[in-house]
Amino acid sequence: MRLILLGAPGAGKGTQANSICEKFRIPQISTGEMLRAEIKSKSQLGLAAKKIMESGQLLEDDIIIQLVLKRLTSTDCIEGYLFDGFPRTIPQADALETQEIFLDIVLELTLDDEQIINRMSGRRIHQSSGRSYHLEFNPPKNDGVDDITGEPLIQREDDMPETVKHRLQVYQDETKPLVAYYQTQESKSPLKYIAVDGSQPVEKVFEDIEQNF
Ligand code: AP5
Ligand code: MG
């Protein structure tokens, strides 16, 4: 099972990725999480990525493609994987084709901008695992701490309202064209394109995903 989760910032990709990966026993390959890990370790890539991510811009395609191709050489990817936040541009999608990496499912989570802004303002994350919560819609069992480790939750630097607006614009300009890109591919390959209404409660979104697989 190789699949892509497409959707605007805050559409719930990370949230649904957890359930999908658990069910299919495949790793989640989130380029956002990988980059946040680089920032945390203060690597050269992390230092370069920090400013770009905080401003809501995308990193250069070549950097991201290299990062992903290296990740795919890990043994845990043999049975499949889920891409979360990758590909995010047409050249990134083209790179998968060039490498003859073919996909089974492209799953789009749809949501309108107003709901996205609400979700981002209430999001809190567990830094080391990337698990995300929402103060109102998806609260942790105990206030302010991760359900599994009990460690404190933090707010992401790029979840400030102005940055969120910019990220949404970048999504429209750079990533949204991938919807048409994969819809066109569906007709000439075994790939299945699915769109699920991401505005529903977390459990209902997952139910719809399961029904469509
Ligand atoms: P990335 O980390 O991928 O961020 P993103 O795509 O903007 O998406 P988010 O992680 O913000 O949202 P999500 O869809 O995962 O939503 P979540 O499940 O957390 O990328 C960050 C940055 O890294 C980019 O801006 C860029 O700079 C760089 N980058 C990454 N990949 C790149 C690439 N390929 N190329 C170039 N640059 C790249 O949910 C959001 C909130 O809503 C949470 O609080 C959650 O609890 C809540 N929630 C989720 N589902 C529901 C629901 N159904 N109902 C109510 N609340 C819900
Ligand atoms: Mg995410």
75-129: pLDDT as tens digits: 999 999 999 999 999 999 999 999 999 999 999 999 999 999 989 999 999 998 8
| Average pLDDT of span 136-165 | 94
- Give the ligand 1 atom nearest the CA of 5: 14
DSSP 8-class letter at 56: T
Residue-averaged pLDDT of the chain: 95
CB-neighbour burial class of residue 179 (10 A; exposed 0-12, middle 13-18, buried 19+): middle
> Quick one: CA torsion of 155, 160, 165, 171, rounded to 10 degrees?
-30
Adjacent-strand bridge partners of 193: 106
Summarize pLDDT for 25-72 with one digit per residue, the tens.
Answer: 999 999 999 999 999 999 999 999 999 999 999 999 999 999 999 999
Adjacent-strand bridge partners of 124: 133
DSSP 132-163: EEETTTB--SSTTB-TTT-PBPB--GGGSHHH
CA 28 to centroid of ligand 2, rounded, Å: 11
**What is the pLDDT confidence band of residue 9, given thresholds at 50, 70 and 90?**
very high
CA 107 to chain centre: 11
pLDDT above 90 for 188: no
Q: Whose CA is nearest to atom 29 of ligand 1?
A: 32
Adjacent-strand bridge partners of 138: 134
- Give the ligand 1 atom nearest the CA of 32: 2
Summarize pLDDT for 119-136 with one digit per residue, the tens.
Answer: 999 999 999 888 999 999
Tokens of 134: 């929402």
Residues with CB under 6 A from ligand 1: 7, 9-15, 31-32, 35, 52-53, 56-59, 64, 85-86, 88, 92, 119, 122-123, 132-134, 137-138, 158, 167, 200-202, 205
- In contact, 88 and 172? CB cutoff 8 Å: no
pLDDT above 90 for 186: no
CA 12 to centroid of ligand 2, rounded, Å: 7
Catalytic residues: 13, 88, 123, 156, 167
Closest CA to 31 of 8, 58, 11: 58
What's the CA gap between 116 and 68, in Å, rounded?
27
CB atoms within 10 A of CB 111: 19
- Give the ligand 1 atom nearest the CA of 123: 44
| Average pLDDT of span 135-162 | 94
pLDDT above 90 for 189: no
pLDDT above 90 for 3: yes
